[in-house]
Amino acid sequence: MAGLLMQRVAILGATGSIGASALDVVARHPDTMRASVLAAGSNVAALVALCRRHRPDDAVIADESGFAALRDGLADAGLATRAHAGAAAIDALASGPGCDTVVAAIVGAAGLDSTLAAARAGKRLLLANKESLVLAGELMMAAAREGGAQIIPIDSEHNAIFQCLPRDGAGAGVRRIVLTASGGPFRGRDRATLANVTPAQAVAHPKWSMGPKISVDSATLMNKGLEVIEACHLFGLPPERVDVLVHPQSLVHSLVEFIDGSTLAQLGLPDMRTALAVGLGWPERVQSGVAGLDLLAHGRLDFEAPDTAAFPCLRLAYAALAAGGTAPAVLNAANEVAVSAFLQGRVGFLSIPVLVEETLEALPARAADTLDALREADNEARRVASAALSRHPA
């Protein structure tokens, strides 16, 4: 990174799938970058194991009851890493002097405050936590502008678009962007055959290895819906200029169409380390550990339209975007409740879009120009969706 001898990287969500990929890339560049802060939700043993390997200055566990175990685990390992606990400690470390770059990879709305804190503090923000943009995209983009933070999207589609857009004056000459979608494990199936699918089937993604929540979102196509909202905020485009194309091979990560008829795409193997290396090295290219793409070996690239009859979540996300205000926050919160209930075996797969739609209907969009209004909408949607769970038994 230009001007810095050693890029110090805070990895929020270090014990997760993106966290592992980020640590893998950082560890390949011991002379130019190091993990200075590691944060996780509740798995103290996994966090201590990462600290042994990567020796950060600070480690923080969101679950406050894990503090003593973290402190003792670090001491037993003979590490100088300082122990912290609680969400406020994550926010403080994400915005504090101990890091230059923040990898925002906490899952769900739980990642909002730390991502905002990093944006306000002007960090280089490698943004994987799409839910924070869905919930509070305008405020996030304003915080980054005001704080002088550079956001580099890590979601593979948005990272692809970031790479395809001209470096100066992003958006100039762009007609539309096209987000590709793998279609998930149930692509090609009709609604009737989806009633009895299990959480194990839903998280078995054909192309990407990811955490459980985003894997279910990929199976419902809500992931693509969240990504459409994410793209509108990141690239300043209206929803009608953001399209979705199913591409089962997951080799074309997204496309940008310009007004002169040119389309630029970014291709590569489905491995998040590429996007993370783009973020960590930008504007330079750095090694990621990912092999190049052998198109001859893959043979073909297929494309098809998304099936919103079988997978209504994509349609619901566009509707929430059109409704504006608090609607995307409501969509996101209801989806988090529904996905968590599905993963626990409490509701069926087809109940996920039903719960989201019912919650959107129960809570019509209101203006949302403050963080408090959005948090209130998020809380209310969680209450409404949770109360509705019992009406949709598995």
Residue 59 interacts, among ligand NAD, Mg ion, none and using kind-specific CB cut-offs from 5 to 8 Å, with none
Asked if 179 and 231 count as a contact pair (C-beta separation under 8 A), the reply is yes
Contact partner at residue 17 from ligand NAD, Mg ion, none, CB < 5 to 8 Å by partner kind? ligand NAD
Cα–Cα distance between 199 and 218 in angstroms, integer? 12
Shortest separation between residue 213's beta carbon and Mg ion, angstroms: 13
Of the two residues 110 and 232, which places its CB atom closer to ligand NAD in the complex?
110
* Closer by beta carbon to ligand NAD, 62 or else 341: 62
Task: Report the candidate in 266, 178, 174, 278 with the shortest Cα–Cα distance to residue 227.
Answer: 178
Give the position of tokens 């970058």.
Answer: 33
* Nearest CB to Mg ion, comparing residues 15 and 180: 180
Q: 133 vs 7, 269, 381, CA distance in Å?
A: 25, 26, 17
Instruction: Report, in Å, the least distance between residue 393 CB and ligand NAD.
Output: 26
CA distance from start to end of the chain: 50
13 binds, among Mg ion, ligand NAD, none (CB under 5 to 8 A by kind): ligand NAD
**C-beta of 185: minimal distance to Mg ion in Å?**
15
Query: Which of 103, 75, 123 has its CA nearest to residue 15?
Result: 103
130 interacts with, out of ligand NAD, Mg ion, none, CB within 5 to 8 A per kind: ligand NAD
Give the residue with the Cβ less far from ligand NAD, 46 or 362.
46
The one of Mg ion, ligand NAD, none whose footprint includes residue 62, by CB under 5 to 8 A per kind, is ligand NAD
Among residues 192, 222, 188, 186, the alpha carbon closest in space to that of 204 is found at 186
Give yes or no for a contact between 247 and 302, defined as CB atoms under 8 angstroms apart: yes
Minimal distance in Å, beta carbon 158 to ligand NAD?
Answer: 9
Contact 368, 325 (CB under 8 A): yes
Q: Which residue in the shown chain puts its C-beta closest to Mg ion?
A: 155
Distance CA 106, CA 37 (A): 14
Q: DSSP letter string over 252-265?
A: EEEEEEETTS-EEE
Distance CA 134, CA 359 (A): 16
- Say how far apart CA 358 and CA 210 lie, in whole Å: 28
Residue 128 site contact among ligand NAD, Mg ion, none (CB < 5 to 8 Å, cut-off depends on kind): ligand NAD
Closer Cβ to Mg ion, 253 or 392, answer by number: 253
CB 314, CB 120: distance < 8 Å: no
Nearer to ligand NAD, 62 or 234 (CB): 62
The binding site for Mg ion (CB under 5 A) comprises: 155-157
Q: Is there a contact between 22 and 11 (Cβ–Cβ < 8 Å)?
A: yes
Tokens of 386: 């949770």
CB of 203 to ligand NAD, least distance (A): 10
- Residues near ligand NAD (CB under 6 A): 13-19, 39-41, 43, 62, 105-107, 110, 128-131, 155, 208, 210-211, 213-214, 272
Closer residue to ligand NAD, CB minimum distance, 314 or 388 = 314
107 binds, among ligand NAD, Mg ion, none (CB under 5 to 8 A by kind): ligand NAD
Nearer to Mg ion, 163 or 351 (CB): 163
CA distance 314 to 325: 18
**Contact predicate 392/354, CB 8 Å:** yes
123, two tokens = 């960090």
From Mg ion, ligand NAD, none, interface partner of 105 (C-beta below 5 to 8 A by class): ligand NAD
| Residue nearest ligand NAD, CB atom distance | 16
Closer Cβ to ligand NAD, 104 or 149, answer by number: 104
Min CB(161)–ligand NAD separation in Å: 13
**Beta bridge partners of residue 59, listed in sequence order:** 38, 83
